[in-house]
Structure 1
Amino acid sequence: MKLVWSPEMALKAYIDTVKTCKKFQESDDAEMISAMAGGWNPRLIVEAWSSGSEITTSIGLEIAARHSGARYVCILQNECSRSEYIAALKEHGSTVPELMVGESMEVMERLPEVEFMVVDGGRKDLSELFGVARLSHRGAVLLCRGGRTGRRMGGFRWDLVVKKACLVRSVIIPVGQGLNIGYVKENLEYKKSSSKNDSRWITRIDRKTGEEHVFRG
């Protein structure tokens, strides 16, 4: 099975996000991101938010998650960002999603089968977040906000960042500050090689001779 696009779900998410965000002048790309999140009908939506960023993307993702029944998790760098994020959502009258605070490697290890992921282009751990993400075997849609601005992206390229998956296609859409979008699928060759390399070295001590024997498990 793979991710399947649903126009009906995309339209529902888009319309509700437009209604909710129309009073916010900073909405920018929230409607499009919400429509994509709803349309791909993912099981897990992950957002990596950074301090000072717009909150409307989170509002749109929450709406999409509600329509699709997806689990929606927002990753924050520290407790200060967490407080700022919660305050911004409450100010706009939106529901606070499941939150995780911490280093990218540690947090992403707890999130298997990611199917839709949005990362703010201003985060310093941008490439690491995408690189360590445990993506779904059904495929995944990855978005980097700020994809049109080369300075912020620092030469960002999907094929260099997402090495555990096969890049099917990518596109940069000039809405807001730019959306760099990549669609990836499971890399079976990487999976095979990883399973071989991940075998453990096991040590056994011969009680009679005291000799140490080391072999792969």
Structure 2
Amino acid sequence: MKLVWSPETASKAYIDTIKSCEARLESGVAELVAAMAAGWNAQLIVETWSKGSVIATSVGLAVASRHTGGRHVCMVPDEASQLEYFEAIEAAGGPPPEVIVGEPESAMEELQGIDFMVVDCQRSDDSKVLRMAKLSSRGAVLVCKNAASSGADTASQWRSAVEGGSRRLVRSAFLPVGKGLEIAHVASTGGGKGGRRRWIKHWDQRSGEEIVIRR
């Protein structure tokens, strides 16, 4: 079974996020991630958040989870971040999602079958989150915010997230939305093409280089 795109569900989540966020929109990021999560019918949506971060993306993911009937989980590093997160989500008028407090190693033990994940390129711990993520067998979509200003090699992060198994990176792309979004689509496992390898192209918007990866 693979992720299947639903334009109708994506459109509904997009519109509902605009209505929910109103003036709090994060330069188009919130409604875009909401549309992607809902359009791919994500059943386990995971995001990372820490003190001082914006809340609009969380609102959008909460909207998406309502449309898909899935589970929305927010990972925070400490209790101070948890408290600020609950206050921010309450002020935004949305119901709080499930929150897990702690380091990526312990938090990921509770999360099996992630099919949509949003992390922050500016947070060093989030590269570890990507590597440790237990992705769904039907595939996954990974999103990294603040990609334009992080200077991080996000293409390497996507490769690290799918290394060591039958995972395959289908495609990755950079979108100039907000402070930059890096998006990667990971293939489903099983029922594949007999271990056939293929070339994946990734365009690095910061350096202007085309990166070719063989998986």
Q: TM class, shorter-chain normalised?
A: 0.7 to 0.9
Q: Deviations over 1:23-80 (max 9, x none)?
A: 2254531010100010000110001112211100000000000011010000000001
- Residues 104-148 of structure 1, C-alpha deviation per residue, up to 9 Å, x if partnerless? 011112100000000122222111101110001100000000122
1:181 is displaced (CA, Å) by 0.3
Matched with 2:177 is 175
Q: CA RMSD in A?
A: 1.5
Distance in 2 of aligned mates of 1:128 and 1:30: 23
Give me the TM-score of the superposition, normalised by structure 1.
0.81
The TM-score with structure 2 as length reference comes to 0.82
Aligned to 1:105: 105
Which 5+ residue runs of structure 2 have no aligned equivalent? 191-215
What aligned pairs does 1:23-172 form with structure 2 within 5 A after superposition?
23-24=23-24, 26-149=26-149, 152-157=150-155, 158-163=158-163, 164=165, 165-172=167-174
Deviation, 1:156, is 2.5
Cα distance in structure 2, aligned partners of 1:116 and 1:184: 10
Question: Separation in 1 of the partners of 2:58 and 2:91?
Answer: 13
Identity, in percent, stands at: 49
TM superposition shift of 1:187? 5.7
Secondary structure at the residue paired with 2:34?
helix
Q: Could you list the runs of 5+ residues in structure 1 that have no partner in the other structure?
A: 189-217
Q: 1:17 to 1:25 in 2, by over 3 A?
A: closer
Q: Quickly say closer, same or farther: Cα 1:142–1:26, change in 2 above 3 A.
A: closer
Q: Hey, what's the Cα distance between the residues in 2 that align with 1:154 and 1:144?
A: 10
Structure 2 distance, partners of 1:147, 1:27, is 14
Across the two proteins, how many residue pairs are aligned to each other?
Answer: 186
Q: Give 3-state SS (helix, strand or coil) of 1:23's partner.
A: helix
Q: Is the CA contact (8 Å cut-off) linking 2:154 and 2:182 kept in structure 1?
A: no
Looking at structure 1, the residues matched to 136 and 25 of structure 2 have their Cα atoms a distance apart, in angstroms, of: 35
